[in-house]
Amino acid sequence: MFLANAKVDSVTQIGTNVFLLKLQSEKIAKNAKPGQFVNIKVSKSSFPLLRRPFSICDVEEDYFTIMFTTIGEGTAALRQKQKGESVDVMGPLGNGFSLGGNYEKAVIVAGGIGAAPFPFLINELEKMGKEIFSFSGGRTKNDCITYEMKNVSSATDDGSFGFKGNVVELLSSKIDPPEAGKNNKIKIFGCGPKAMLKSLQQFCLENNIEAEISTESSMACGFGICQGCPVESATDKNKFLLVCKDGPVFNVKDIELS
């Protein structure tokens, strides 16, 4: 983990309220793994604003990118960043996805801004020769983010784009669950809102499909000190795992999503 003064290269709008912030920090870019995140001090002046966590969306040489939607004060401040400005960034943080295994097909399942960690993951999986299929879901067409995804199928709750329904319903209509659960030929990587992750977790557990999900929680420190980001362990009811340190990526078998 490094504390870096990352230089803003660009802020680009890629969708309705979806932005990419490209930052230069050799230390963070060179040490990042797909699924890890950075904790950004969004504004120099606005004490007591905490840092805000964002998935590392992609890396290229000394640069890394985050993808964000504006929600409140912190993300609004990020949107206003100017080229050349310095941003105080802590990272890379968290564990990241496990890429190893015998699976041939990698299946990406993203809900809304849950698409953020996948460009980096997809690049690495492609280098490993995995076949990639992506499923992107959102409430409406504008919430369905497909940036840098491969072989994409989309689902919207209102039917304004692609399949009408949620992204897990779409996934289950496209893959043959008993076949997918056999021989460990498929691995699912999911990220999105909690309700989507719960339903994806249930689908994978019922059909014995290998899967990892990237979870979210409110965070303060971002590296295991404040105990502010607990998630219940599925194997030991008396134990809590920390999203920032033990996650944000978990095997679907390991956590209880409340």
Ligand X SMILES: Cc1cc2nc3c(=O)[nH]c(=O)nc-3n(C[C@H](O)[C@H](O)[C@H](O)COP(=O)(O)OP(=O)(O)OC[C@H]3O[C@@H](n4cnc5c(N)ncnc54)[C@H](O)[C@@H]3O)c2cc1C
Q: Does 52 bind ligand X (CB under 6 A)?
A: yes
DSSP H helical ranges for the chain? 26-31, 73-79, 118-127, 167-174, 177-181, 194-206
Q: Which amino acid is at 5?
A: N
Cα separations in angstroms, 42 against 39, 86, 135, 222, 226 = 9, 11, 31, 14, 20
CB of 2 to ligand X, least distance (A): 17
Please tell me the distance from the alpha carbon of residue 254 to that of residue 96, in angstroms, as a whole number. Answer: 15
Instruction: Among 89, 110, 113, 180, indicate the residue that binds ligand X (CB under 6 A).
Output: 113
> Residue 19, CB half-sphere, CA atoms under 13 Å: how many?
19
- C-beta closer to ligand X: residue 54 or 203: 54
Q: Which of 53, 96, 138, 162 binds ligand X (CB under 6 A)?
A: 53
Question: Among residues 98, 131, 228, 240, which is the contact residue for ligand FES, using CB under 6 A?
Answer: 228
Q: State the nearest-atom distance from the C-beta of 220 to ligand FES, in Å.
A: 5
Tell whether residue 40 is a contact of ligand FES (CB under 6 A): no
- Residue 72 and residue 93: Cα distance in Å, rounded? 23
Looking at the Cβ atoms of 210 and 216, the one nearer to ligand X is 216
**Is 66 near ligand X (CB under 6 A)?**
yes
Tell me which of 248, 249, 250, 257 binds ligand X, using CB under 6 A. Answer: 248
Q: Which stretch binds ligand X (CB under 6 A): 60-68, 143-151, 156-164, 199-207?
A: 60-68
C-alpha distance from residue 4 to each of 28, 41, 88, 151, 184 (Å): 8, 11, 6, 36, 40
Maximum Cα–Cα distance across the chain: 55
58-60/52-55 β-pairing: unpaired
Of these partners, ligand FES, ligand X, none, which one is at the site of residue 14 (CB under 5 to 8 Å by kind)? none
Q: What is the rounded CA–CA span in Å between residue 193 and residue 214?
A: 10
Least CB distance from residue 54 to ligand FES, whole Å? 14
Per-residue interface string for the shown chain with ligand X, residues 205-234, x marking contact by CB under 6 A = -----------xx-x---------------
- Interaction site with ligand X (CB under 6 A): 37, 52-55, 66-69, 71-75, 113, 116, 216-217, 219, 248
